[in-house]
Amino acid sequence: MPDAPTRLALRGDLLDFTGTPALDEPASPAVRFRPDHWLLVEDGRIAGALPGPTPPGEDWAREDHRGRLLMPGFIDTHVHCPQLDVIASYGSSLLDWLDTYTFPAEQRFADAAAARAGSALFLDALLAHGTTAAAVYPTVHAGSADALFEAAAARGMRLVTGKVLMDRHAPPALCDDVVGGQADCEALIARWHGRGRAAYAVTVRFAITSTPPQLAMAGGLLRRHPGLYMQTHVAENRDEVRWAAELFPEARSYLDVYHRAGLLDERAILAHGIWLDDTDRALLADTGAHIAHCPTSNLFLGSGLFDWAAAREAGVRVSVATDVGGGTTLSMPRTLAEAYKVQAMQGWRLSAWAALHAATRGAAEALQLGGEIGSLEPGRLADVVAWDWSHGPVAAHRDRLAQAQALHARVFAWMTLADERQVAATWVAGVPRWRRAPDRAPQVAALG
């Protein structure tokens, strides 16, 4: 494990949020931009900031990232570790995509060595994409959750995960049962929940693949163990919504299936939420459950357009997530750029501030982790990423012009054009966990 200097100062353009920006306003008092500052990190936590020309004393290790953006690490609130194997698979919508690509791929994680290798690959990929914390689905196999927790602990990462619960409508090799699923969850909770930065999520894949007794068992786990998360999918695809209505005729809606099982509270993370109505949104707001919006997945699988404005209007929290492998990238900037387009298709414009907030401070708050991650506030753990402002001649040209414009114009162009090639370094709790290979010189320097 690389050592963390007790006192580390990182120089760059600091960007984070002190509150919640409006969805569509390019000027926001919630934005905190401190160009050319030192970010001070002491014992893995943010200790403060100083203007660039006045560095801290000699007892601080220094790293100069001048001309780069320094931001809190992104938080991906919904992503599937084993699905790196099937990212970018051709030609199907949700239910068919699960049967054709995803369920076959997930069977590989029955093998503990495959799960370990897959978890290491996946978490290193997150760090290389500038993402330092995530809510992740492994597979139905308890060993796949162990593997993810172990790999996250080795990297010091904040990880929310739990073995997937599925006891019907999936291949037999991926199905558990109520008794076995409960025993696995109890053992994993005892082993991992609250250990270091690990948190357990009762992971009901979706209503289609759980029987009512399994949903009731999941609700029982949440009641017995306060502080657990719950993660699932809801109202992603119209065929799925119809099937859920057939399977649960007593429920008012797809979301109500989870509510009746006692699965909705402020630690519930529901992916997608495209086909919800006003009553559903009111239920989300009342329970504090939040939506992980997954734009690249929704576009790739042709699932539909998430109505973020309606969610905000109803008081529903929204984070943004990649949903790889239905989603097509682990990059949060690329995901946020697609989120903008999804809202543009519905006639309005998502600000860079609202988008970036939803992937940092907003996600942290939705996960009840605002005291630990998501901002550069003193006392937060130093999960920080240094980003080049551009990559390649077109983005460099655009960035040069944008520097003469309002800050939102520059940051919006960055968000729309950026990808993982712009990640120079990623720190987790002040420890450098990923650095770009030295032969990838920063583009700004090359272009002058």
The footprint of ligand GUN (CB under 6 A) covers 80, 94, 98, 102, 205-206, 233, 236, 297, 323, 326
Residue 307 near which of ligand GUN, Zn ion, none (CB within 5-8 Å, type-dependent): none
Examine residue 106 and tell whether it contacts Zn ion (CB under 5 A): no
- How many CA atoms are closer than 13 Å to the CA of 358, on its beta-carbon side? 34
C-beta of 242 vs 349, nearer to ligand GUN: 242
Least distance CB 321 / ligand GUN (angstroms): 10
C-beta of 273 vs 362, nearer to ligand GUN: 273
**What's the alpha-carbon Rg for the chain, to the nearest Å?**
21
Binding segment for Zn ion (CB under 5 A), chosen from 31-39, 259-267, 315-323, 403-411, is 315-323
Contact 160, 136 (CB under 8 A): yes
Binding segment for Zn ion (CB under 5 A), chosen from 4-12, 82-90, 217-225, 316-324, is 316-324
Residue 178 near which of Zn ion, ligand GUN, none (CB within 5-8 Å, type-dependent): none
| CA–CA gap between residue 276 and residue 369 (Å, rounded) | 26
* Candidate list 16, 42, 323, 420; residue touching Zn ion; CB under 5 A: 323
| CA–CA gap between residue 36 and residue 25 (Å, rounded) | 25
Torsion of CA 377, 379, 384, 387, to 10 degrees: 20
Strands (E), 235-367: 268-272, 290-293, 318-320
C-beta of 81 vs 126, nearer to ligand GUN: 81
Closest C-alpha among 74, 16, 38 to residue 419: 74
Least distance CB 136 / ligand GUN (angstroms): 12
C-beta of 141 vs 155, nearer to ligand GUN: 141
Least distance CB 231 / Zn ion (angstroms): 9
Q: Which secondary structure element, helix H or strand E, spans residue 64, and what is its range?
A: strand 61-72
Residue 75 near which of Zn ion, ligand GUN, none (CB within 5-8 Å, type-dependent): none
Question: What is residue 234's DSSP assignment?
Answer: E
Least distance CB 326 / Zn ion (angstroms): 6
Binding segment for Zn ion (CB under 5 A), chosen from 7-15, 255-263, 317-325, 353-361, is 317-325
Residue 94 near which of Zn ion, ligand GUN, none (CB within 5-8 Å, type-dependent): ligand GUN
Residue 236 near which of ligand GUN, Zn ion, none (CB within 5-8 Å, type-dependent): ligand GUN
Closest C-alpha among 181, 138, 174, 134 to residue 158: 134
Burial 103-137 (b: 16+ CB within 10 A, else e): bebbbbbeeeebbbebbbebbebbbbbbbbbbbbb
Least distance CB 137 / ligand GUN (angstroms): 7
Burial of residue 445 (number of CB atoms within 10 Å: 0-12, 13-18, 19+)? exposed
Contact set with Zn ion (CB under 5 A): 271, 323
